[in-house]
Amino acid sequence: MSGIFDTAHVRRAFGRAAASYDAHAALQDEVGQRLQERLDDAVLAPARILDVGSGTGRGTAALRKRYPQAQLIALDLALPMLRAASRQRSWLRPFARVCGDAEALPLADAAIDLLHSNLCLQWCGTLDAVFDGFRRVMRPKGILLFSTFGPSTLHELRSAFAEVDAKPHVNRFLDIHQVGDALLAAGFRDPVLERETFTLTYSDLPSLMRELRAIGATNADHQRSRALTGKAHLQRVVDAYEAFRDNGRLPATYEVVYAQAWAPDAGQPRRSGNQDIASFPIDQLRGSRRIRR
């Protein structure tokens, strides 16, 4: 990962959250189920499936149940998450576990028929690099299915912190149009994007912040403050958040973007600035000559 996020921080945060993640990831599970429901009407027989940002492997296990004949690969940046995913494996339904970065996939070209990712891509520095990597490892006409958070996510928390200081305290998220543009720029075909809003409620702000830490969703912005938040400073944030209280509860909004697209044929151009750039395997170039030495 690169750009605005501190990769090492992301890895540590999710590694620490491996033991507590499943008990606090109700939203992630719900979004994951809704994401995979988009496969219900698809006639697919994927030979190899990659789950990027697999976490503790619950989504991977659901894909294994849906496609029992496929080879499953769970990939995550945090090794403790992959260790926790071993609980989802069995000798009847095994899947491979790979520790790797979504922006530098350690897989061969054209190896994946279905690439799945649930609420992972918001932790990536640049979608251009991510989608280029996805396209590289996917077979032509393979299906890409993912969810990510949109810019309204945790807007209440962002607003409360903004009342206190100018430092970033909540990660920044791309909107649905930027996600769609990045898919088209990478050459993916016929993208279908949808947006859905969830609102979770809490008795107080510390409860929300404890839950975010328990799933590893801490502030990873390179420009974040490294100093510990003092009690007086945090109390001002708590007081600012109270402006959102409704019917005795504090809301936390999550904007979820769902996306589905198809990998292009080999040589299909991708957009770079105002140019189309096409690439071909060398053995497909007609009339090419071998250089003899």
Q: In 24-60, which positions are buried (b, 16+ CB within 10 angstroms) versus exposed (e)?
A: bbebbeebbeebbebbeeeeeebebbbbbbbbbbbbb
* Residue 290 falls inside a structural domain: no
DSSP string, 132-161: HHHHHHEEEEEEEEEEEE-TTTTHHHHHHH
Over residues 44-54, mean pLDDT: 97
Q: Give the count of domains, the chain.
A: 1
* Residue 145 falls inside a structural domain: yes
Q: Specify burial of residue 137 (Cβ count, 10 A radius: 0-12, 13-18, 19+).
A: buried
> What's the domain range around 53?
7-150+172-197+255-269
Q: Residue 186: which pLDDT band, with cuts at 50, 70 and 90?
A: very high
Query: Rounded to two decimals, what is the model's pTM?
Result: 0.87
* Residue 220 falls inside a structural domain: no
* Residue 263 falls inside a structural domain: yes
CATH number at residue 11: 3.40.50.150
Q: Chain-centre distance of CA 193, in angstroms?
A: 15
Residue type, 170: V
Number of other residues whose CB lies within 10 A of the CB of residue 191: 17
* Residue 291 falls inside a structural domain: no
Cβ neighbours for 22, distance < 8 A, ≥ 6 positions apart? 56, 58, 84
Distance CA 193, CA 259 (A): 4
Q: Residue 229: which pLDDT band, with cuts at 50, 70 and 90?
A: low
> Given this model, what pLDDT does residue 288 score?
42
Give pLDDT tens digits for 57-88.
999 999 999 999 999 999 999 999 999 998 88
* Residue 14 falls inside a structural domain: yes
Q: Quote the percentage of the chain above a pLDDT of 70.
A: 84
* Residue 119 falls inside a structural domain: yes
Give pLDDT tens digits for 141-161.
999 999 999 999 999 999 999
Average pLDDT, the chain: 87
Residue ranges of E strands in 162-286: 189-202, 250-262, 270-272, 275-277
Determine the straight-line distance between the first and last CA of the chain, rounded to whole angstroms.
41
* Residue 203 falls inside a structural domain: no
Phi, psi of 125 (to 5 degrees): -70, -40
